[in-house]
């Protein structure tokens, strides 16, 4: 049964779009707030060549919420393999064309959403072109979203602070309004420093979250990420978010407690990643903790089971005392 619960999901990358597939089965009042700081791959090229905002994460979210023929859905994510268009997805190019004929990027996203029959609303968090930089423990500054996760210095030289240039870019009006009216606000899942936190550095977003009466949920990643969260526990993830926002931003933290298959542990370890350990005592000092089997293995990649995750989020939104331990 579809409810009228108003859910705002904040993030970017694969994590956000995956979760949206589950949430749209429960409510059509979904607002996805998406980072536009990506500067690598197809998005980076389009940013450089056309002066537009990064379309990739937005396109993923539109695709996840679109009610279109499956063939059209595949086309939106189709990526050219050869020629001058190599590396570009058709959806990114579609958004680029719409951006050329629109007064702002969020207007282009609205047109894109309308044409693809999106359930809910997708907003870029800002219309301003932003660049991320990360301050490391040794004092060095890593500039550019695509460079932050590949500095390969290991956990002993972790990220202390994330910054955005220009400072305090203006949020898209619809983002603030959606946060003010939300019943549930979800942070993550997704890359901590390159998908989630960048949204919190946009002017007005943190204040709107703080003032909102919504149930605020943080969905922690299942695996750590090289260059960003090596050796991070669940509480380390939450502490990083609080450093860039305010203490108590999450009422509830959701974490996976399913065992990772040994073969995948070995595979991810070769990429300097491991399962995020649940340090319950430290998490419970800051928020309620909900643990559950949220693991989905697809093509040797670990993802959240979007169906279980969405059910958990929706139930928590109506009953904050509920704990999913299945």
Q: pLDDT tens for residues 14-38?
A: 999 999 999 999 999 999 999 999 9
Which carries the bigger pLDDT value, residue 156 or residue 261? 261
pLDDT at 40: 87
pLDDT at 185: 98
> Chain-wide mean pLDDT for the chain?
93
Task: Indicate if the pLDDT at residue 287 is higher than 80.
Answer: yes
- Alpha-carbon gap, residue 320 to 28, rounded angstroms: 21
Task: Indicate if the pLDDT at residue 73 is higher than 80.
Answer: no
pLDDT at 324: 42
Confidence of residue 179 (pLDDT cuts 50, 70, 90): very high
Confidence of residue 241 (pLDDT cuts 50, 70, 90): very high
pLDDT at 12: 95
Q: What percent of the chain shows pLDDT beyond 90?
A: 83
Torsions phi, psi for 134 (to 5 deg): -125, 130
Which carries the bigger pLDDT value, residue 68 or residue 257? 257
Mean local confidence (pLDDT), 249-265: 97
Lowest-confidence region among 94-98, 121-125, 146-150: 146-150
pLDDT at 97: 96
Confidence of residue 67 (pLDDT cuts 50, 70, 90): confident
Contact (CB, 8 A) for 142 and 134: yes
pLDDT at 153: 62
Task: Indicate if the pLDDT at residue 221 is higher than 80.
Answer: yes
Q: Is the pTM of this model over 0.75?
A: yes
Mean local confidence (pLDDT), 137-162: 83
Task: Indicate if the pLDDT at residue 181 is higher than 70.
Answer: yes
- Alpha-carbon gap, residue 297 to 53, rounded angstroms: 32
pLDDT at 191: 95
Confidence of residue 228 (pLDDT cuts 50, 70, 90): very high
Mean local confidence (pLDDT), 182-211: 97
Lowest-confidence region among 60-74, 240-254, 260-274: 60-74
Mean local confidence (pLDDT), 219-226: 96
Confidence of residue 320 (pLDDT cuts 50, 70, 90): low
């Amino acid at each position: 049964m579809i409810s009228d619960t108003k859910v705002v999901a904040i993030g970017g990358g694969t994590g956000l779009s995956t979760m949206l597939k589950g949430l749209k089965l429960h409510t059509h009042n979904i607002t996805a707030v998406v980072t536009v700081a990506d500067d690598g791959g197809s998005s980076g090229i389009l940013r450089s060549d056309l002066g537009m905002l990064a379309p990739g994460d937005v396109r993923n979210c539109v695709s996840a919420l679109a009610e279109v023929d499956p063939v059209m859905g595949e086309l939106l994510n189709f990526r050219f393999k050869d020629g001058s268009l190599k590396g570009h997805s058709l959806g990114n190019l579609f958004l680029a064309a719409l951006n050329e004929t629109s007064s702002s990027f969020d207007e282009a996203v609205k047109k894109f959403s309308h044409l693809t029959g999106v359930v809910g609303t997708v907003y870029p968090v800002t219309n301003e072109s932003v660049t991320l930089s990360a301050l490391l423990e040794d004092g060095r500054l890593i500039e550019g979203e695509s460079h932050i996760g590949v500095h390969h210095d290991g956990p002993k030289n972790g990220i202390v602070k994330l910054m955005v240039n220009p400072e305090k870019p203006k949020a898209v009006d619809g983002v603030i309004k959606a946060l003010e009216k939300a019943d549930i606000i979800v942070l993550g899942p997704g890359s901590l420093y390159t998908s989630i936190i960048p949204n919190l550095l946009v002017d007005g977003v943190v204040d709107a979250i703080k003032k909102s009466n919504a149930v605020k949920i943080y969905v922690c990643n299942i695996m750590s990420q090289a260059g960003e969260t090596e050796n991070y526990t669940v509480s380390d993830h939450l502490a990083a978010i609080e450093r860039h926002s305010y203490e108590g931003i999450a009422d509830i933290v959701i974490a996976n407690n399913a065992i990772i298959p040994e073969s995948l542990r070995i595979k991810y370890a070769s990429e300097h990643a491991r399962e995020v350990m649940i340090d319950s005592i430290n998490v419970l000092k800051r928020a309620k903790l909900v643990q559950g089997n949220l693991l989905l293995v697809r093509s040797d990649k670990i993802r959240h089971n979007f169906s279980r995750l969405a059910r958990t989020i929706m139930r928590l939104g109506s009953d904050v005392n509920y704990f999913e331990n299945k």
